[in-house]
């Protein structure tokens, strides 16, 4: 009988992610929405997994994130948590607070955040918005739940923004975004996602904050990067925003594999 037991994996905490900034190490974050993908992404070496409300678009097929509910996020968070329980990686797990779960009242926001932790397996929650959410963030953090802020292009405000547009382009808007970033740090956020802003603004935000900004379409200077896993894997050949890099062409591979299977079923070549 072997006397060696494999040491339990020590997963990265939100404090570890913050320390990575100080150590000059970049954070590699990627989304996942189900147990299998969570295990694959975790074992491949991601530092952080985000159960993003982007699942409304890439998983549920909506044209925005607005129809995603708290129950959906809990369901997918719990699935991802089960995947991580079977994997050998070390990724930290953040779950998005969906539209309508934190805007109406602070008490509702705190309860929603606590459900994402207790039932959805989250170690941190992420919510969209600037200084106007400082009090909400303070209360969630006071309840013991780490918060990641999200500014720049905030998809839950698509109607207010008039589309999925680059933010912070003129100097007044850039200053406003910088003020929001500082207010979120002050309110107790452990990290920030900054989405679709000019690279120079991404650099300034990153330089000015003690917490790590994680960018998506925010240039190369951020303390980390986040991509939607379906985009990174090239699942949808028709969708490629400028800031996405496809590291695989799985959409094509899936079509090829399923096509070959269908052909063989029809010809009788499978099963042999």
Binding site for ligand KIV (CB under 6 A): 31, 50, 52-54, 96, 193, 195, 216, 226, 228
Residue 100 CB, nearest distance to ligand KIV (Å)? 15
CA angle (74, 241, 103) in 5-degree steps = 35
Residue 35 CB, nearest distance to ligand KIV (Å)? 17
Of 27 and 256, the one with the shorter C-beta distance to ligand KIV is 27
Of 204 and 228, the one with the shorter C-beta distance to ligand KIV is 228
What is the number of the residue whose Cβ is closest to ligand KIV?
Answer: 52
147-152 and 124-128 strand pairing: parallel
Of 147 and 259, the one with the shorter C-beta distance to ligand KIV is 147
Annotated catalytic, 123? no
Catalytic residue among 195, 200, 256, 264: 195
Of 27 and 270, the one with the shorter C-beta distance to ligand KIV is 27
Of 183 and 191, the one with the shorter C-beta distance to ligand KIV is 191
Residue 163 CB, nearest distance to ligand KIV (Å)? 16
| Burial of residue 59 (number of CB atoms within 10 Å: 0-12, 13-18, 19+) | middle
For the chain, give the secondary structure using H, E and C: CCCCCCCCCCCCCHHHHHHHHHCCCCEEEEECCCHHHHHHHHHCCCCEEEECCCHHHHCCCCCCCCCCCHHHHHHHHHHHHHHHHCCCCCCEEEEECCCCCCCCCHHHHHHHHHHHHHCCCCCEEEEEECHHHHHHHHHHHHCCCCEEEEEECCHHHHHHHCCCCCCCCCHHHHHHHHHHHHHHHHHCCCEEEEECCCHHHHHHHHHHCCCCEEEECCCCCCCEEEECHHHHCCCCCCCCCCCCCCCCCHHHHHHHHHHHHHHHHHHCCCCC
Of 7 and 70, the one with the shorter C-beta distance to ligand KIV is 70
Residue 167 CB, nearest distance to ligand KIV (Å)? 14
Residues serving a catalytic function are 195
């Amino acid at each position: 009988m072997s006397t060696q037991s494999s040491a339990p994996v020590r997963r990265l905490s939100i404090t570890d992610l913050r320390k990575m900034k100080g150590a000059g190490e970049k954070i590699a974050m990627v989304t996942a929405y189900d147990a299998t993908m969570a295990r694959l992404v975790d074992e491949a070496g991601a530092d952080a997994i985000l159960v993003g409300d982007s699942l409304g678009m890439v998983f549920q097929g909506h044209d925005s994130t607005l129809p995603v509910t708290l129950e959906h996020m809990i369901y997918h968070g719990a699935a991802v948590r089960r995947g991580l329980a079977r994997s050998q990686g070390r990724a930290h797990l953040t779950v998005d607070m969906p539209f309508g779960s934190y805007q109406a009242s602070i008490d509702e926001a705190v309860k929603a955040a606590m459900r994402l932790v207790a039932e959805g397996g989250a170690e941190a929650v992420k919510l969209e918005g600037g200084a106007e959410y400082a009090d909400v963030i303070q209360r969630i953090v006071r309840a013991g739940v780490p918060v990641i802020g999200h500014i720049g292009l905030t998809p839950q405000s698509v109607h207010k923004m008039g589309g999925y547009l680059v933010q912070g382009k003129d100097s007044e808007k850039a200053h406003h975004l910088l003020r929001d970033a500082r207010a979120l740090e002050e309110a107790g956020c452990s990290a920030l996602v900054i989405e679709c802003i000019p690279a120079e603004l991404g650099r300034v935000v990153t330089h000015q904050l003690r917490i790590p900004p994680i960018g998506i379409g925010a240039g190369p200077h951020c303390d980390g990067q986040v991509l939607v896993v379906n985009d990174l894997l090239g699942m949808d050949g028709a969708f490629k925003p400028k800031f996405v890099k496809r590291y695989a062409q799985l959409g094509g591979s899936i079509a090829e594999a399923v096509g070959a299977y269908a052909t063989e079923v029809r010809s009788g070549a499978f099963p042999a």
